Amino acid sequence: MSGSGRVCGLVDCLKLDSGDSTNDERTRAYVARRTVEGKSPREVRRCLKRHIAQEIYSLLTDPKPVQGTDDLGPLRHRAGMSTQCRADHFAVSLTTISRTERAIKPNHEFAARYHDWSTGQLTETA
């Protein structure tokens, strides 16, 4: 998961009440591990918040580089592939491909996979 995606998931975790659950698999695993260690639900939430704060701090102080999306459109054109072909391969909408290529609303994890796949397609056609 990218840094910004993980931060959003972590911030949602900070809103946890004792009965709430989360969709993030790593958070569920962390809570289960702390529960097995014999921590009370209150202690588990305290530990989770500390862990989240440490992750956020590390993302803020040492951000991971994000790949640009400015070369995705030209890569697709050089490979001679349609937007629909890309959308079908990744099982996403045409809008997602278009917005990612134009950096309107990029998902950087998706853009990285898209770039890697596009580069591979370009070398296969050469």
Q: Is 37 a member of any domain? A: yes
Give me the domain span that covers residue 57: 3-61
Angle 123-95-117 from CA coordinates, rounded to 5°: 20
Distance from C-alpha of 15 to C-alpha of 13, rounded to nearest angstrom:
5
Looking at the 3D structure of the chain, how many domains does it have?
2
Q: Please say whether the beta carbons of 55 and 83 come within 8 A.
A: no
Tens of each residue's pLDDT in the chain, 126 residues? 455 555 555 555 555 544 455 677 888 898 899 999 999 999 999 999 999 899 889 888 887 766 777 788 888 888 888 889 888 988 999 898 888 888 887 778 888 888 888 888 777 665
Contact 64, 2 (CB under 8 A): yes
Residues 49 and 26 in one domain: yes
Give 8-29 pLDDT, tens digit per residue. Answer: 555 555 555 444 556 778 888 9
User: Are 57 and 83 contained in the same domain?
Assistant: no
User: Does residue 67 fall inside a structural domain?
Assistant: no
48 and 18 in one domain? yes
Model pTM above 0.75: no
Q: Among 12, 30, 61, where does a domain finish?
A: 61
Domain boundary among 18, 40, 61: 61
User: Does 108 map to a domain?
Assistant: yes
